[in-house]
Amino acid sequence: MDKKVTVVGAGNVGATAAQRLAEKELCDVVLIDIIEGVPQGKALDLAEAAPIEKHDAHIVGANAYEASAGSDIVIITAGIPRKPGMSRDDLISTNAGIVKSVTKEVARFSPKASLIIVSNPLDAMCHVAFEASGFPKNRVMGMAGVLDSARFRAFIAMELNVSVENTHAFVLGGHGDTMVPLPRYSTVAGIPITELLSKERIDALVKRTANGGAEIVSLLKTGSAYYAPASAAVEMAESILKDKKKILPCAAYLEGEYGIQGLFIGVPVKLGRNGIEEVIQIRITEAEQAALNKSAAAVRELVEVLKKLK
């Protein structure tokens, strides 16, 4: 393949992302993990599936970063996932250290890469990677909105018994309980769901979306969601690798957009060859802006926690 993507963290999210990248033949894949043997073993297992899955993507595993050199994109999933009863924010001190050290290494070997952060708490980890890499803001982004809106879309399709392909959904804000799903901009075959569902049902779906991660953690008990998070990261990577210029909700560093200054938070962006090529500013109501401000305040609190960790 003429593109190369490194996935750091060969756990549930990372290995699944590697599988999806290879099976879509988007790029060659380098899987990196701190545990010896794990990335090598998973990469070999994936390579042995290639003849059956009919792809020619090369997949290698490594513990050192030399193998990642010259990557177009690095997806960072290294860190610990949450357990039942934990919020994403409880992971901050452990994952901040991991994301910082990993980012320094990937930035050294792939100075032109776009970074897609997956480790939680997501928006705060974007700050860590932004600072540790020294990359421009267009090349550091977080995967959350695509996942949150996919969850919302899945619930809308289940509720209305329609194809998921007919659904579209928009979610703004941080990746946490304060996320802001926007029903007005969420549609089925172009029809806003506000025309199709009662307020009570929409509120229930919105609530389920905001708790989507916790719902899965409470079922799995030993880890957090990974199939949908991996799919979401790969959709972002695909848009960049193919320069598709898809509009996707991602955590982006804002400097005044939506009235927010100096903070990573989920907004619609255009993803192409240069990473975040544009922050799309949609008109939102006063109530939606207030909800977004509340979400931004929650992210800012975590960023303050990060400063104290230093």
Q: Which residues are catalytic?
A: 175
Minimum distance of ligand APR from residue 269's CB (angstroms): 20
Counting contacts by CB under 6 A, is residue 212 touching ligand APR? no
Counting contacts by CB under 6 A, is residue 281 touching ligand APR? no
Nearer to ligand APR, 19 or 95 (CB): 95
Minimum distance of ligand APR from residue 109's CB (angstroms): 14
Counting contacts by CB under 6 A, is residue 41 touching ligand APR? no
For ligand APR (CB under 6 A), the number of binding residues is: 27
Counting contacts by CB under 6 A, is residue 232 touching ligand APR? no
Counting contacts by CB under 6 A, is residue 285 touching ligand APR? no
Nearer to ligand APR, 27 or 74 (CB): 74
d(CA 11, CA 42) in angstroms, rounded, equals 9
Nearer to ligand APR, 187 or 224 (CB): 224
Nearer to ligand APR, 152 or 226 (CB): 226
Minimum distance of ligand APR from residue 196's CB (angstroms): 31
Range in contact with ligand APR (rule: CB under 6 A) among 20-28, 30-38, 153-161, 250-258: 30-38
Q: Which residue is nearest to ligand APR (CB)?
A: 11
Counting contacts by CB under 6 A, is residue 12 touching ligand APR? yes
Counting contacts by CB under 6 A, is residue 129 touching ligand APR? no
Specify burial of residue 300 (Cβ count, 10 A radius: 0-12, 13-18, 19+): middle
Query: Residues in the site for ligand APR, rule: CB under 6 A?
Result: 8-14, 33-35, 77-79, 81-82, 91, 95, 98, 101-102, 118-120, 223-224, 226, 229
